[in-house]
Structure 1
Amino acid sequence: MSAAPQPIELREGGVHDLISVNRIMQSAFDPEYGEAWTQSQCVGMMALSGVWLVVASIGGRDVGFAMARAMLDEAELLLLATSPGARGRGVGGALLRAVIAESRNRGATKLHLEVRAGNEAIHLYHREGFEKIGERRGYYRGTSGLALDALTLARPLA
């Protein structure tokens, strides 16, 4: 008989979590496109009004995070990442639903995000009600010279 899977625990994060966040981001984001933020970029963003961080852990180990911001009646998912070893366990969905709930709590009526075309997370976003509202052709330029579009997705929160 196998042990039951350990639950995903979510907590509000802070600047003290950014070392763990950076570790997750470096392992989760494709280096081909340079999408991972630096530690100083994260610190700078966390200092802005309306920005929050949610950290996911399993068995006491941080395995994912989401950073978002709310301004007036809109919210934006800035970053969402799950450690490769924790993928397929519902971490990304739990984080995204937490961002949706907190965006509503902060008075947002719409949540939007930008994602590289071909990113596996697009399936998660569609499952959670996001639809494509825009596209920037060739926005992401890889080190190999390949250019991919940036997709803007949004969903109502009402």
Structure 2
Amino acid sequence: MIHIPVNKPPREELLSKPEVKRCLYGWGRTGDRGFIAVDDDQISVGAGWYRLFPANEPGYGFIDEQTPEIEIAVSSSSKGQGIGSQLLRRLIEQAGLDGYQAISLSVDPTNAALHLYERFGFTKVGTSGTSWTMKLDLPK
């Protein structure tokens, strides 16, 4: 989930980093999948997506080249309304339908979304800097 704690770089600085740009650059390649959440007025309030990364250009939540990394972003005004849960549920379902055995993510342990990920069954499998890499094994 894209979440910026007070002591972290501002959103513009974060989004200009090459490792973050990689999450969306060239969208539409094989393995890319995403969903947009809209409100009753059809206004975008969140998005969730997953993508595979090569070992020589890993994302923050990289486990291996066969495990897609997910990202979820929810607008500030829409947080706490279950949108992140709905997007996560849809991503998990779709990843299973696409034949993946697992999905991964990266999260700062101070991010409130950590509890959401744990509730869905994600477990910590490593660290990268101050962030946790988490994995969910999908039903076969």
Coarse TM-score class (shorter-chain normalised): 0.7 to 0.9
The one-character-per-residue Cα deviations of 1:115-136 (angstroms, maximum 9, x if unpaired) are 1221111111011110111112
Where do residues 11-90 of structure 1 align in structure 2 (5 Å cutoff)?
Answer: 29-30=3-4, 32-33=8-9, 34-36=13-15, 41=22, 43-59=24-40, 60-70=42-52, 73-77=66-70, 79-90=71-82
Query: Once the two structures are aligned, what percentage of the paired residues are identical?
Result: 28
What value does the CA root-mean-square deviation take over the aligned residues? 2.6
Note if contact 1:29-1:35 (Cα within 8 Å) is conserved in structure 2: no
- Alignment partners' CA distance in 2, 1:104 and 1:37: 31
Alpha-carbon distance, 1:74 to partner: 2.5
Partner residue in 2 for 1:131: 123
1:105 is matched with 97
Q: Is 1:119 aligned to 2:101, yes or no?
A: no
* 1:13-47: CA deviation from partner (whole Å, max 9, x where unpaired): xxxxxxxxxxxx9xx64272344367965652414
State whether residues 123 and 135 of structure 2, in contact with CA within 8 Å, keep that contact through their aligned partners in structure 1.
yes
Report Cα offsets for 1:50-98 as digits up to 9, x if no partner: 1121100111111000120258752221x21111111111100000011
Aligned partner of 2:138 in structure 1 is: 157
In the alignment, residue 31 of structure 2 is paired with which amino acid? Answer: G
Higher strand proportion, which one?
Answer: 1
- Number of aligned residues: 120
Q: Which runs of 5+ in 2 are unaligned?
A: 54-64
Q: Which residue of 1 aligns with 2:60?
A: none
Calculate the TM-score normalised by the size of structure 1: 0.66
The TM-score, its normalising length taken from structure 2, stands at: 0.73
| Aligned mates of 1:29, 1:119 — CA distance in 2 | 7
- Structure 1 or 2: larger helix share? 1
**C-alpha distance in structure 2 between counterparts of 1:152 and 1:40, whole Å:** 19
Gaps of 5+ in 1: 1-24, 140-148
Q: 1:91 to 1:100 in 2, by over 3 A?
A: same
